[in-house]
Amino acid sequence: MKSEIFSKAIHFRNMIQFLYFLNEMVVEPYFISCEKNGRKYLYGRIPASNQVKRFEFTAIANIRVLKNRKFSPVIPIKSLVN
């Protein structure tokens, strides 16, 4: 169920809000990954930073898709210019 919600948010570029270890997070979701250990992770950027962070699925609760808040992914092109 979480994968479905995140996949739709990624496809439509909707920001999401959720509880992560009891901290409220607003994130621009980029992609979902399954690591070698079998755990699923969501990778996304917090709007106030330029860092992409990893969030473990088991620690995510109360997911809410913010349909009125869209985003465009940040693509690092500075290295291409130099």
pLDDT at 48: 83
Question: What's residue 76's pLDDT?
Answer: 58
> Which segments of the chain have a pLDDT < 70?
74-82
**CATH code for the domain in which residue 8 is found:** 2.30.30
Q: List, as one string, the DSSP characters of 38-76.
A: S-EEEEEE-TTSS-EEEEEGGGEEEEEEEEEEE------
Count up the domains in the chain and report the number.
1
Domain with 68, as residue range(s), is 2-81
Interval 2-15: pLDDT, tens: 899 999 999 999 99
Q: pTM for the whole thing?
A: 0.81
